[in-house]
Structure 1
């Protein structure tokens, strides 16, 4: 298993566990799990975010199709135990690392939504340079509502200060029909930085990609299309089904988080599916969003 770490902090199996929290009010530890079926008909994501200095957790789970969405959102969940099990009003959710950096099992039991899925690492592990965070492309199998599921996705784990109400960003990941995994992220700061981006070729390993950029067009506040530019390859991303979340700070500031299952198509005709997010804090239009050429 290849580990590509662009940061100066060490990255190893121990990072799958909890980290010692900082004293900042916005210190957060987060686990994300995305998935899309092989045919692109069903997708979803789970996020567990710990806010120890608020004495609470955020738990999000959603499943989308072209015809609808089922969500379970709890912004006042109890902090989980050491194995990341959360028991809130009407639901129990667990997030268990069965083999560090290789396999994770996620379960949700609730009246509205039932998940039992496993993420298996495909291509290796990618560590960020800017912040303690890593992303892992995965094969995903299991059941949704008792129905067998098979597809692909990505999971990530991050820790540190995250201010949802001041920084706008784009994040996108996909699996293409030929087996390629893509990932790119950039914050909208009006600066050109070495943004976290990687590709993993069919059956190959994760490789950092320098020079990643992205541009988005909007219909009002809703993203309409994004163009991802990797060196030598341009990919167009179009939302299929949105699963948005609204985030309110302790001071009452509101940020919108329009996350969507998307169709991806490269300029050479390869297609695939994945997830994209366009985070919109207060004043986000003042940042460096662009329209694709």
Structure 2
């Protein structure tokens, strides 16, 4: 298994000692989309130990308009096993084999998941912040129905202030087997922002010089273009699954996430997830590059 650009911080799938900042956060994401793009979803468990709560999100969408979700912004902090429960749900998040296999089980009102993420091509660690992303094959059941598809999972820890910075994050798999990932915060600076791809049947490779631009229709993104060297890919939303986030001081941000179709300029198409985070002042930033 190839591990790229880990940035000198610990290679660690387990929980970390919290910092002293009020918004210090540790989170795990798991997203998925079926082979045909008809159904997809994501799970996020975020721990705010100094705010004395956890955030738990599980969202499921379909191409024909179904949307089911469990959103809990006042979940009790879990123990090291990362098992959480609320009034209408119970969920577990297990690393079965570090950096290779993870499993999520959720029993909730109107939504149940039992899915396994198996690493496909390697692990990508960010150089600028303690975080890693892992492209995966995903199998199991969704609402009791057998599921096969692809997705990505990640793990990060550090200060997470949702109300001060906008960004675009995108991860998908094309029909030829290529996994793509790009992330770009809107800072007005040109830095080596995180980007990678996994060629069909190959190993993960870091990509330099990737840019991301977005066009909006009102507040909702209409499309983004991921410009990888040698291949530009257009990302178009199929079904949105946003979450509204309120800070301790009452500021409101919109976490806009969508199941998307990915269309490469040279032909291959596929599916994945993209997010366009909108803090209170997001319109002051340029989203097209």
Structure-1-length-normalised TM-score: 0.97
| Among candidates 172, 175, 178, match of residue 176 of structure 2 | 178
Structure 2 distance, partners of 1:231, 1:128, is 19
Task: Give 1:140-155 correspondences, 5 Å limit.
Answer: 140-155=138-153
Match of 1:276 among 274, 277, 288: 274
Runs (5+) with no aligned partner, structure 1: none
Specify which of 53, 56, 73 is matched with residue 56 of structure 1: 53
> Equivalent residues in 2 for 1:1-293 (5 A)?
1-11=1-11, 15-66=12-63, 67-290=65-288
Distance of 1:79 and 1:169 partners within structure 2 = 27
Check conservation: 1:189, 1:288, Cα contact below 8 A. Answer: no
- For 1:2 and 1:89, the matched residues in 2 are separated by 41
Tell me the C-alpha RMSD between the 2 structures: 0.8
Aligned pair count? 288
Cα deviation code 1:121-152 (max 9, x no counterpart): 00000000110000000000000110000000
- What is the rounded CA distance, in whole Å, between the counterparts of 2:80 and 2:179 in structure 1? 31
C-alpha displacement of 1:33: 0.2
Describe the SS at the equivalent of 1:250: coil
4+ runs deviating over 3 angstroms: none
Q: Residues 10-50 of structure 1: CA distance to partner in whole angstroms, max 9, x if unpaired?
A: 42xxx111000000001000100000000100000000000
- CA shift, 1:5, in A, is 2.0
TM-score, structure 2 length as denominator? 0.98
Equivalents in 2 of 1:289, 1:249: separation in Å? Answer: 24
Deviation at 1:288, TM superposition (A): 2.3
CA distance in 1, matches of 2:24, 2:149: 33
1:111 deviates by: 2.0
The whole-number CA distance in structure 1 between the counterparts of 2:285 and 2:6 is 25
Deviation at 1:6, TM superposition (A): 4.5
